[in-house]
Structure 1
């Protein structure tokens, strides 16, 4: 493209999930409900863990961090979408788009890292129960969370800086309800080879690495559980992992489904609809998965709510 046709873009147009006017009130009500449930559910988890001394353990420390990240994750995309529907505007400024892309990448990666840290916690608890309190002490738990934050911040910052160097045409339509890194790279007019290479490397290292850690942890957990002689002991050990395993399965299966569907259909609109699963539905379901099967969380929530009432 000629240099004269490339200008400094000031805004993008988010096409959203549907351009049908009659569907906008339905989409607004549905996403507002899911967002409020997500925020309320995860906030209750954080309040229950922080208010109950019995839950001041590594597992619930990581869980409260995961709930905080899930609130931030959905808050990065859904409020802007709701505002655009309410104002009947699709515009998002260039600066807001870059900011949204940065925080979406940051909190998405943090979800991945925290799930890996929680898998390590379950590995130590089941495979090395006698040394659990020695290994998973407060300093190590804080260090694991801090390192996760640092790596995710640096990775997201790198991608954002690389996008800032790209040139875009004057009018750009993003076939999504938020600014996604991959969409931004595809819309660029300038050379994106470096962006694509860094993206692939990042996905392989920061996506494949944590997944490999989770698989390794659970392979050791399964071996340890199978070595337990009593059925009651096996059930107790498995119950300690089932909530986390459910969240991990939901997180990775929905993400895998999004990218497989987009690869098969080659439709940006279908990809946007499918991405609702891991951007909205998964953070909304996490509090229910952890609270419905967890007596400690349910007890802490009851005590907290009764105290407030």
Structure 2
């Protein structure tokens, strides 16, 4: 490494690792997933191999296991000091990133790997999609076309959920969002029962702005650790277009799909529609609201064109 690069890294708040250096930090961490299990965790059009799991995600799961263990030791020390039996609250991990960057796959994979460690087997995953306002509310406010932007979320409800979780409430419910129907399902909820670890994944989890100017807290205030999944915008845009085309051939064919009207587009038409949506909505949201939060994360996963992580940036303590 040139001297200038060494100085730059020394002055950065992050330590940067290439694939080889990061992969060595796995040590003896076993690979608990089969190829079939990995296929079930992958998102649409997200390519990930067992080699990627071994090199990138096993070291990450080892790091998180060490962090969770340290927090559990702190809990025991506090309990000893206070002489009480107060309930242990979940360790909360936030995962942020753009639409189509693969953060949902990352969240599911991290959940699966962390649940294999014996000292925290109960790991739950919640997405912030459930805290979007219903379409009827977004339509009334004239912001349906800004779904995913800060003002489209019921931030007060999301903050209350996180307060309850961190307060040790035994059972907390979360609204359920359907990507097929593109709306909140009014009669369904996800129930969270005091997990050892809670993963919260979404576009907005590291943002310090919201549609509610009265908010005194930020979602990230409740996190013990945060991850940002990053890539060049040109790659993310292409991944979004590719995913749109894949959905046109699959989910959009379902008559109940909100996007059923796109089912008969030609590949060229689908490309133009997807590019238009990216340019007018998702790209704008990435520039204005999501990308600026990257350096608030404790760890950044930087992906290349093939979805493989090329560098890992870990915040210095």
TM-score (norm 1): 0.28
Structure with the higher strand share, 1 or 2: 2
Higher relative contact order (CA 8 A, sep 6+): 1
Pick the structure with greater CA Rg: 1
Q: Larger helix proportion, structure 1 or 2?
A: 1
TM-score for the superposition, normalised by structure 2: 0.28
